[in-house]
């Protein structure tokens, strides 16, 4: 979802914004790819440490990432250690990458493998963003490890590509723009999508999301 180009008739006081496909002018860029569909993501079942592979449809859609990213260059490629993320990276054409355990999904604890509707039978109104997760990670724990990812990316000159998971990448976007991880609830993220975080002048921003 790139911004439309500025009207060429704009006067000298109007400064065009950098598009997500441009070389970063104001700071590093972090490109995020959520893994392709798995059986559990398809069915709405929370998946963190369960190491599932992609479905046939997940493979097909992940393969389209190769063409979408073919013209882009990255100084560093990071990937969650989970099979679904590594397989997505491979299908997208990225085998020379670094596995980063900080990119794993939010730990769901006792809610692993079940849906939000099932959780709400005993915890009305539950969401990962607003309620505790018995036996899983706290928002503070997630924030601390994703802050390490942000720090690592900001030490790199140019673009970084990261393959990961839905809730963790949404939380990562929140931390990139210096917000609590709970603000990730506003960033819907589908499987096998590309998003871009970057800078406008001195401010960290979301350049493109869920495209």
Q: Do residues 145 and 175 lie in contact, with contact meaning Cβ atoms separated by under 8 Å?
A: no
35 is catalytic: yes
**Catalytic-residue membership of 46:** no
* CA atoms 156, 157, 163, 165: torsion sign: positive
Is the CB of residue 180 less than 8 Å from the CB of residue 34? no
CA atoms within 13 A on the CB side of 139: 17
Distance, in Å, from the CA atom of 14 to the CA atom of 6, rounded to the nearest integer, reads 9
Residues 178 and 199: beta-carbon distance below 8 Å = no
**From the candidates 29, 37, 105, 112, which is the catalytic residue?**
105
Residues classed as catalytic? 35, 105
């Amino acid at each position: 979802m790139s911004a439309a180009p500025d009207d060429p008739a704009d006067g000298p006081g109007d400064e065009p914004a950098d598009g997500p496909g441009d070389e970063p002018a104001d700071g590093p860029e972090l490109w995020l790819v959520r893994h392709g569909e798995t059986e559990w993501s398809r069915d709405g079942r929370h998946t963190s440490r369960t190491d599932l592979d992609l479905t046939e449809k997940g493979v097909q859609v992940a393969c389209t990432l190769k063409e979408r990213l073919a013209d882009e260059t990255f100084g560093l490629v990071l990937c969650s250690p989970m099979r679904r993320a590594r397989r997505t990276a491979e299908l997208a054409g990225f085998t020379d990458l670094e596995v980063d355990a900080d990119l794993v999904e939010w730990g769901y604890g006792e809610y692993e493998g079940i849906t939000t509707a099932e959780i709400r039978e005993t915890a009305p109104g539950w969401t990962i963003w607003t309620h505790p997760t018995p036996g899983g990670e706290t928002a503070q724990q997630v924030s601390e490890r994703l802050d390490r990812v942000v720090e690592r990316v900001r030490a790199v000159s140019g673009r970084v590509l990261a393959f990961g998971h839905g809730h963790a990448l949404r939380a990562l976007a929140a931390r990139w723009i210096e917000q609590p991880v709970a603000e990730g609830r506003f960033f819907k993220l589908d499987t096998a999508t590309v998003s871009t975080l970057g800078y406008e002048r001195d401010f960290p921003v979301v350049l493109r999301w869920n495209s």
